[in-house]
Structure 1
């Protein structure tokens, strides 16, 4: 699914209005209808909806929503600034709603003394995506009051105070929603930590915007949805043999850090690698042969890896638990200087490269890097926020012709073509040491199975996150551990195969 900027979404609205044709007021009605349906399914019949309407089209959505909820038999209160002029469509929906005697209207100034019912829900329809300045004055004070109320909070389109396409000032006043009902498209603000924290759970509602516009409009940002994953995934064909699924080598581990090598190797095996090898120091021999009997052991050093020489017909993932001993450091740099094939690089492999800014030029083209924010900073420099970090990653991915997987709550993949893909699977239970080792094993295994580098990156990140979601469901976010991700990979593949 494409991610559009606010100007592009306005263009999509205008194109739909002109070419369907449909009036802007009818489009507003669609949005309100979709929200009313969602709210009716979410909350009980005893719920009292308190809708806070601004003067623009987001407020118009709120007025229409109030009317539709009332006609469904719901109790509704509407709050507004009586002194402000409304936009044309908001004015029409205000008049339609004002005429309903069963809906109580109150000025924003009354909110402090208003007696909210026990089963109240607060609905934010104040500003939407039309906002281009930080909220100040009475509106800011209102949002502060609403944020203190201990009721479920729902934002329509986007939490008021957020900008759709960029980070807000850290001191900005923003409505903090439990859930956001947005229309047709994901917005970048939903997907970055600094802004997504205000959005709660995101619900994308289809309001029938022009499929022609969506198909033809160019975007460089996308979400990895299940439809895209199903296009990438290739179920195993009958009469296959192990040679059809490649050779994976996991170069990992050092004394005291063999667990990382185990996790990466087990993940490669569980993702379908035809033949899997562990390139590791002798100190890890018993550990790996015991925990990963399906993988073959390649000795390279005693307590740490001292060589990375492998056959040409393998795909190599390097980094988990590697350490940065001088012999390992020198051996890796020497290997990179001579290597011209795709690699997956993580953890200490990235730390070795980061020791000198010139080392990034040794990374083979079409390789996949999987840095967490601090590793990315050591590699490419500091940035002020995740929006800037992603822009820098896009520049570096294009410059070096590599794929950069920025690990985050919504992991982002920057491609050499200048595109960005946001992953929607995964959860905070994966924020534990070892989860990245699992990802390296998954990515390396997919590359060995002849998925393209782009396919492996997109599918691998989704697969990793989906396994995390299954693990959280079965064990809780607190109790789940990285080995649970590996255990759930089979269930993810069963899920994909169940609807083929």
Structure 2
């Protein structure tokens, strides 16, 4: 408790003033309960007093309720000259005067309940939380925001919405989920000296990954090598209705270090992309009017990938260090047939994205050709799993939530269960699964799950995934293994997206702006 309270003090002290977006004020308000979380708050308050910073400590429990370490912390606080205020006094003074509350306190520290709390808040806690939320004051929570149910991993009837939460000792997954993230705000981990037996309880194969890892994962450049020493990427993408997907994927690969990038796309859109990009090599695929039993109109099969393209693709793919397939290919049935027939014949590490994923999801419809074979969901998932496992090359699948559901069924309702589900799929398919979203999850066949705890609504736009595929295929081409390429690619994607948002804002930034800022993501990590 003393160690946690001291870490909280150092954290809070840095936030006094405007540097972190907190306005200055004469006092700091700390709300405590009668348990260990309240004890952390009392240690914080003692250190603030000793530093000459006035803290008001509003307690929701009488002094008689404090036991063991919390009682010792209370005694130390009182001996340092502190006073314990009843929470009712806070309600009386500020409950109907939020303006005065905002003028008095620059921010609030929540040490009421912390981790382990469950069930709905009692009325006295709910009233305090309501006033804090209505005041719109920044809140620093200790361990967990009050009102967050640590057993169900949700906010109950009412919950503190913290600007920042200090986690003691370990990251906790629910601070980065869609259920917990809005309550925890930005999660910051304080390293504490826990005993070994406590650490073992947290020894799971879930890893929190941040931008700090970029420099450790970057591939080594061969300063004396030619373009082929830097990796050759082969991208199969685009269709007459979605040339932009191919362009975004290709340009992202060019900006991510690949020495030679070849784009295979239909001749209908090759001139469009050539007008935009001068650096890639083009493999222009002949358009031929064909019919099949699903896409009966010849016009539907113009400007899209078709089975007669397979020999050309295989001939060009044999020279590639890595392959990406899927962005903007279309949902044409002939395209799906082509993808399903092509993937087992590819040898190089492969990024499988977008319409290539949709093709695999239609596996039960597309085999046998032109047949109408329907399975129940369990059988379909098994067919998809067996198909993916049969692919001999290392591969990374990059679905968003809806694409994932088409392949493997709906995700668990609780975000806390997502890592286990992804781990199961990655192990069963022997492929890396990168689930796009906030947060981003990357599951490896070895059982490890990497979580990138970033949310950026400016990247929630069509084309961002195409950029990600281009980054990853370039990293694969430079020799990174599939798990490392997926993690590093997602980190670079997120970092470039963050820089773009800082410059342009979430409303106005485009996927192409992620590419325009990729160089900064690399250069800032000495690349």
TM category, shorter: 0.7 to 0.9
1:48 aligns with 2:27: yes
Aligned with residue 86 of structure 2, among 107, 112, 116: 107
Shift of 1:72: 2.4
Moved more, 418-427 or 390-399: 418-427
Give distance in 1, aligned partners of 2:259 and 2:523. Answer: 19
1:299 aligns with 2:284: yes
Shift of 1:217: 7.0
Q: Aligned with 2:517: secondary structure?
A: helix
Distance 1:230 1:87, change over 3 A: farther
Give distance in 1, aligned partners of 2:449 and 2:494. Answer: 17
Give distance in 2, aligned partners of 1:327 and 1:393. Answer: 30
Give distance in 1, aligned partners of 2:102 and 2:231. Answer: 62
Q: Aligned with 1:197: secondary structure?
A: helix
Unaligned stretches of 5+ residues in structure 1: 1-24
Shift of 1:206: 3.7
Larger Rg: 2
Q: Aligned with 2:140: secondary structure?
A: strand
Q: Aligned with 1:280: secondary structure?
A: strand
1:35 aligns with 2:11: yes
Give distance in 2, aligned partners of 1:276 and 1:123. Answer: 52
Give distance in 2, aligned partners of 1:246 and 1:95. Answer: 65
Aligned with residue 387 of structure 1, among 392, 410, 416: 416
Q: Per-residue CA shift, 1:429-453, capped at 9, x if unaligned?
A: 1111110000000111111111111
Q: Aligned with 1:497: secondary structure?
A: coil
Moved more, 76-85 or 62-71: 76-85
- Provide the residue aligned with 1:362 in structure 2: 387
Aligned with residue 126 of structure 1, among 112, 126, 129: 112
1:319 aligns with 2:338: no
Q: Is the 8 A contact 2:4 2:168 kept in 1?
A: no
- Provide the residue aligned with 1:78 in structure 2: 57
Q: Is the 8 A contact 2:237 2:265 kept in 1?
A: yes
Unaligned stretches of 5+ residues in structure 2: 95-100, 288-302, 365-379
1:497 aligns with 2:526: yes
Q: How does 1:398-437 map to 2 (within 5 A)?
A: 398-424=427-453, 427-437=456-466
Shift of 1:129: 1.6
1:378 aligns with 2:406: yes
Shift of 1:172: 4.4
Moved more, 441-450 or 135-144: 135-144
Distance 1:388 1:217, change over 3 A: closer
- Provide the residue aligned with 2:274 in structure 1: 289
Aligned with residue 190 of structure 1, among 170, 175, 181: 175
Q: Is the 8 A contact 2:25 2:104 kept in 1?
A: yes
Q: Is the 8 A contact 1:268 1:442 kept in 2?
A: yes
Distance 1:328 1:427, change over 3 A: same
Q: Aligned with 1:114: secondary structure?
A: helix
Distance 1:171 1:279, change over 3 A: same
Q: How does 1:264-275 map to 2 (within 5 A)?
A: 264-275=249-260
Give distance in 1, aligned partners of 2:156 and 2:202. Answer: 34
Q: How does 1:141-180 map to 2 (within 5 A)?
A: 141-163=127-149, 168-169=153-154, 171-180=156-165
- Provide the residue aligned with 2:377 in structure 1: none
Q: Aligned with 2:304: secondary structure?
A: coil
Q: Per-residue CA shift, 1:268-327, capped at 9, x if unaligned?
A: 111011111111111111112121211111123531011343332322111111111111
1:95 aligns with 2:75: yes
- Provide the residue aligned with 2:97 in structure 1: none
Q: Is the 8 A contact 2:28 2:54 kept in 1?
A: yes
TM-score normalised over the length of structure 2: 0.83
Runs of 4 or more above 6 Å deviation: 210-217
1:331 aligns with 2:310: no
Q: Is the 8 A contact 1:413 1:421 kept in 2?
A: yes
Q: Is the 8 A contact 2:118 2:148 kept in 1?
A: no
Shift of 1:95: 2.1
Give distance in 2, aligned partners of 1:69 and 1:341. Answer: 59
Q: Aligned with 2:189: secondary structure?
A: strand
Shift of 1:185: 2.8
- Provide the residue aligned with 2:290 in structure 1: none
Q: Is the 8 A contact 1:36 1:69 kept in 2?
A: no
Give distance in 2, aligned partners of 1:89 and 1:105. Answer: 17
Q: Per-residue CA shift, 1:395-419, capped at 9, x if unaligned?
A: 1111111111111122110111111
Q: Aligned with 1:267: secondary structure?
A: helix
- Provide the residue aligned with 2:469 in structure 1: 440
Shift of 1:132: 4.5
Distance 1:63 1:26, change over 3 A: closer
Q: Aligned with 1:118: secondary structure?
A: helix
